[in-house]
């Protein structure tokens, strides 16, 4: 071993920051053996110096201002674990790149919003900008997309990208409880934030999807055009019907090349039980990538938490220590194309729809005629229960249809007075 140690400055000492320090300390010998040089934390920055984080910070230089790390001569790699799409995280990353320091970050919001420009700056400055931890936590999916599958054109990448939502949906299925109750339990367990919107409304998954899309298709990161639907409207009733029909409901982020352009969408999906991703439960994440030579590959693991996220952060640091470099995305940043966006209205797929219907004659005829008028072909229809006084659920699944026709169909059916609440639509994903 004749290389000098690689010196790390860590900004942000929350769960992941403290976990990264613990990992680098406890695995120092192993990592040094693997990369042929030592990796040493030399400086840190966080809001509150006094807070007990379960790690001894006395050996590290303290910066009150994280941006100070970017000009610290004893730091080679800035590890940005502050979070947030703007503010201190962005200022720090820009300053680090400007000062010729490598950057490792777990910040999906930052990369989803500013990934293209940051990648261009980093490549112009010949420094690494690595973000394995930003997508699917501990799963080494960024490396797989950039390196492992480098020989492939990717046609689709999708996954369970938010552990909180997957936990809630798994738990709802197992217990039959409502969303709000399971959410509360998840919050008590620490699986969901006090303000759960970022997770349950699909924004976090959309950040990760936008990054995966660029890795897969070589286009600029385009978060703003991701179609996003969260899981608040998923009901135990739909979960039960899914079961009857041979599906699991999962919140998927899906990016796909179509004739209309690139689709990016995050929404609950009906996933057939014979697809392995249907069986990824609890807080686990999974990503599926379809390549033209490799065919379908899937990657599964924990998408969050101290250990898994630190594992991904340190994998990036180990790459830098080992002089393994790759493009920030899978092709050089200045070659990333503008995305041709396929709007959700042009999406073509199968659908599950549930109507709540009062038991009045003529409603099935109305459904049939709306389908016919909009050229949507029904695959199956089922009704559960029968009541003269209360509305009962009627579920139909369709063959492939475009989303615009589907929406028109629902609008027509909803006008029937026997349909007592807005229909629930869940897209069926085929594999």
Residues forming contacts to a second copy in the complex (CB under 8 A) are 19, 23, 27, 30-31, 33-36, 132, 138-140, 143-144, 147-153, 218, 274, 276, 278-281, 284, 291-302, 305, 307-308, 310-312, 314-315, 318-319, 322-327, 330-332, 335
Catalytic: which of 108, 208, 250, 257?
208
Pairwise CA distance, residues 342 & 331, whole Å: 22
Q: How far is CA 76 from the centre of its chain?
A: 29
Q: Which CB, 299 or 352, lies closer to a second copy? A: 299
Pairing of strands 39-45, 61-63: parallel
How far is residue 280's CA from residue 303's CA, in Å, rounded to a whole number? Answer: 12
Q: How far lies 421's CA from each of 195, 213, 351, 364, 393, in Å?
A: 28, 36, 18, 16, 10
In the complex with a second copy, the residue whose CB is nearer, 17 or 308, is 308
State in angstroms the smallest separation of the CB of 41 from a second copy.
Answer: 14
Q: Shortest approach of a second copy to residue 67 CB, angstroms? A: 27
Maximum Cα–Cα distance across the chain = 84
Shortest distance (Å) from residue 54 CB to a second copy:
15
CA–CA gap between residue 84 and residue 411 (Å, rounded): 39
Phi, psi of 359 (to 5 degrees): -75, 75
- Report whether 47 contacts 115 (CB < 8 A): no
- Least Cβ distance, residue 118 to a second copy (angstroms): 20
CB of 26 to a second copy, least distance (A): 8
Nearer to a second copy, 97 or 304 (CB): 304
Q: Which of 83, 148 has the CB closer to a second copy?
A: 148
CA distance 331 to 129: 13
Distance (Å, rounded) from C-alpha 245 to C-alpha 59? Answer: 59
Closer to a second copy at the Cβ: 243 or 292?
A: 292
How many Å apart are CA 210 and CA 214, to the nearest integer? 7
Q: How far is the CB of 241 from a second copy (least distance, A)?
A: 21
* Token pair listed for 188: 């008590």
Nearer to a second copy, 153 or 345 (CB): 153
User: Is 208 a residue of the active site?
Assistant: yes
DSSP string for 293-307: TTEEEEEEEE-SSHH
Active-site residues: which are they? Answer: 208
């Amino acid at each position: 071993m004749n290389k000098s140690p690689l010196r790390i400055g860590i900004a942000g000492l929350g769960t992941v920051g403290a976990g990264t320090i613990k990992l680098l300390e406890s695995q120092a010998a192993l990592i040094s053996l693997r990369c042929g040089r030592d990796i040493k934390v030399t400086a840190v920055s966080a809001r509150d110096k006094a807070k007990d984080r379960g790690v001894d910070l006395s050996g590290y230089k303290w910066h009150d201002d994280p941006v100070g790390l970017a000009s610290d001569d004893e730091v080679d790699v800035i590890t940005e674990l502050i979070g947030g799409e703007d503010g201190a995280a962005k200022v720090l990353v820009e300053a680090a790149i400007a000062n010729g320091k490598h950057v490792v970050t777990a910040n999906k919001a930052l990369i989803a919003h500013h990934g293209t420009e940051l990648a261009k700056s980093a490549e112009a400055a010949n420094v690494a900008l690595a973000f394995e931890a930003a997508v699917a936590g501990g799963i080494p999916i960024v490396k797989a997309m950039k390196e492992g599958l480098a020989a492939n054109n990717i046609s689709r990448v999708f996954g369970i990208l938010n552990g909180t939502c997957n936990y809630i949906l798994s738990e709802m299925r197992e217990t039959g409880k409502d969303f709000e109750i399971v959410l509360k339990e998840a919050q008590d367990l620490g699986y969901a934030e006090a303000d759960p919107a970022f997770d349950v409304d699909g924004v976090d998954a959309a950040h990760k999807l936008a990054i995966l899309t660029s890795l897969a298709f070589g286009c600029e990161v385009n978060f703003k055009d991701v179609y996003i639907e969260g899981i608040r409207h998923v009901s135990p009733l739909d979960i039960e019907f899914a079961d009857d029909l041979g599906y699991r409901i999962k919140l998927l982020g899906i990016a796909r090349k179509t004739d209309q352009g690139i689709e990016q969408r995050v929404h609950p999906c009906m996933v057939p039980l014979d697809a392995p991703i249907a069986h990824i439960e609890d807080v686990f994440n999974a990503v599926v990538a379809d390549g033209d030579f490799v065919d379908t590959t899937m990657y599964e693991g924990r998408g969050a938490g101290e250990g898994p996220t630190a594992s991904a952060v340190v994998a990036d640091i180990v790459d830098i220590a080992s002089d393994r470099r790759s493009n920030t995305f899978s092709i050089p940043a200045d070659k990333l194309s503008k995305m041709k966006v396929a709007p959700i209205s042009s999406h073509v797929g199968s659908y599950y729809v549930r109507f709540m219907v009062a038991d009045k004659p003529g409603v099935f005829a109305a459904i049939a005629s709306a389908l016919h008028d909009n050229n949507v072909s029904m695959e199956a229809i089922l009704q559960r229960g029968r009541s003269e006084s209360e509305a009962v659920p009627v579920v139909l699944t369709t063959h492939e249809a475009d989303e615009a026709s589907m929406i028109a169909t629902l609008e027509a059916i909803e006008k029937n007075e026997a349909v007592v609440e807005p229909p629930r639509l869940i897209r069926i994903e085929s594999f």
